A and B are shown apart, each in its own frame.
Chain A
């Protein structure tokens, strides 16, 4: 193999960083659009857990590739870990609170296997 110009890796990192930043920005924008357009609390929770989390991860990845300093990269990794650990829990608690306080239009859910009365048996798998 021929010698690779060290500038090549810098350029590659810059290109990957640029793509990551653009994709992350798109997903974050889509999450914001979803939070506005989805008509139910639960739909909005979907928007803030999936595209938002990956959008942030991609933005931070792009940042890490561009900054290239270990202390910054470890900090960004921490942000990702905390985001992955907290976003689902927050969405779960908001959704559960919505259900328990009757803020969810349950007629819009088809099928809705979660009955009002806790005694109702769930459908059997077998």
Chain B
């Protein structure tokens, strides 16, 4: 009785310890919110982080991922440029006289539908080009995006090419080597006819 209770407790402590990236992130957020680095803030943040992780558990992320600084910086730089371009583009469409441009829904099948990469690509594609993700399918990696101005985005194929390029940049930044190789092999055979 006492033994099993102890085992449960230990398993639970192990689960909390396995979530250390979430704990670290929550602690950093807490310290930033207070605006100064002190032991009280760090310990308080850590205690609150444990409370959040225990009280509001999230499913573990099954995908393996890594980070490559070079491609990640390239992704970030391209993201900033695209964000500025897309923002002024949408702003111009909003304020210019005349009717709204032709909108469309385009579907694209991503090469690697693992959660982490699917999510990253979907979030980035909503922020940057003239697209907005309306539907995603986890099993197949199918992304349906709404395009505000289909003609200036190069038609459905232009949008697809952009999104596959974006996915490529995400994968090069964060995907493990074998996943990358698999996608590359796929790339050569089907993605670009």
B104 touches A51 (CB 8 A): no
- In the complex, whether A6 has a CB less than 8 A from a CB of chain B is no
- Bound state CA distance, A38 and B90, in angstroms? 11
* Complex Cα–Cα for A92 and B134 (A): 5
The count of chain A contact residues (Cβ–Cβ below 8 Å) is 50
Complex formed: what's the CA distance from A72 to B92 in Å? 32
Helix, strand, loop or mixed for chain A's interface?
helix
Q: Which residues of B143-181 have CB atoms within 8 Å of chain A's CB atoms?
A: 144, 146, 148, 150, 156, 160
Interface membership of A71, Cβ < 8 A:
yes
Complex contact B87–A122 (CB within 8 A): no
How many A-B residue pairs lie within 8 Å, measured between CB atoms? 144
- Of A38, A50, A110, the most chain B CB neighbours within 10 A belong to A50
A residues engaging B (CB < 8 A)? 26-27, 30-31, 33-34, 37-40, 42-43, 45-47, 49-51, 53-55, 70-72, 74-75, 77-78, 84-85, 87-89, 91-92, 95-96, 99, 106, 108-114, 122-123, 125-126
Chain B positions within 8 Å of A, measured between CB atoms, are 29, 32-33, 35-36, 83-84, 86-95, 100, 102-109, 122-123, 126-128, 130, 132-135, 142, 144, 146, 148, 150, 156, 160, 190-191, 193
